Amino acid sequence: MNDLKQCILIVDVQTGFINEYTKHIPLLVENIQHKYKYAVAAKFFNPEHSFFRKLIKWDRFSPDSNDVELAFNFRKDGLIIEKSIYSCVSDDFINWLNDRGISAVHICGVDTDICVSKCAVDLFEMGIEPVVLSNLCASYAGTEAHNFGLATLKRFIGESQVI
């Protein structure tokens, strides 16, 4: 797990996403992040005129709200990527990975069926090997949504990539 070519990506483990289905995740990711040379935390925020507000009618996660705060103690040498969309995978992030010779990204966090899946598929499509750590993922919408996300991921990125 501590191969120098790997890093951990912790997706949206934020105060606003913690509920009865996700409450176990912060401590798990806080503990595992130190087993990797590199750690990245993605933080979602919902800008004023976003499609989340317009199309989904979801107005939580204003940039200045408590919802956006990380729900765990992230290591001081880690990279935080703020995002206003489902995925944190951008050209800048891919360049950051490539500059460090990282060829595989272990992914965990919230929501398995949405942001975790989108990040994993985007990495796959950009030529970076995604590995989803299923026991370190959960969905705010519940166990059914989490399991749906895992099943979909196995089809998207390969069964062996969901461990």
| pLDDT per residue as tens digits for the range 5-44 | 779 999 999 999 999 999 999 999 999 999 999 999 999 9
Sign of the Cα torsion 122, 43, 80, 153 reads: negative
Specify the DSSP element, H or E, that contains 133: strand 129-138
Any domain includes 131: yes
| pLDDT per residue as tens digits for the range 47-69 | 999 999 899 998 999 889 999 99
Q: What is the CATH number of the domain that holds 131?
A: 3.40.50.850
Domain assignment of residue 34, given as a range: 6-161
Any domain includes 91: yes
| pLDDT per residue as tens digits for the range 88-140 | 999 999 999 999 999 999 999 999 999 999 999 999 999 999 999 999 999 99
| pLDDT bracket for residue 4 (50, 70, 90) | low
Any domain includes 15: yes
Any domain includes 1: no
Taking the C-alpha atoms of residue 107 and residue 143, their distance in angstroms, rounded to an integer, is 18
Q: How far is CA 14 from CA 17, 69, 102, 137, in A?
A: 5, 5, 25, 13
Is residue 134 within 8 Å of 35, Cβ to Cβ?
Answer: no
- Tell how far CA 109 is from the center of its chain: 5
Report how many domains make up the chain.
1
Any domain includes 62: yes
Taking the C-alpha atoms of residue 40 and residue 54, their distance in angstroms, rounded to an integer, is 29
Is residue 121 within 8 Å of 151, Cβ to Cβ?
Answer: no
Average confidence score pLDDT of the chain: 95
| pLDDT bracket for residue 3 (50, 70, 90) | low
Q: What is the pLDDT of residue 45?
A: 95
**Residue of 2 and 154 predicted with greater confidence:** 154
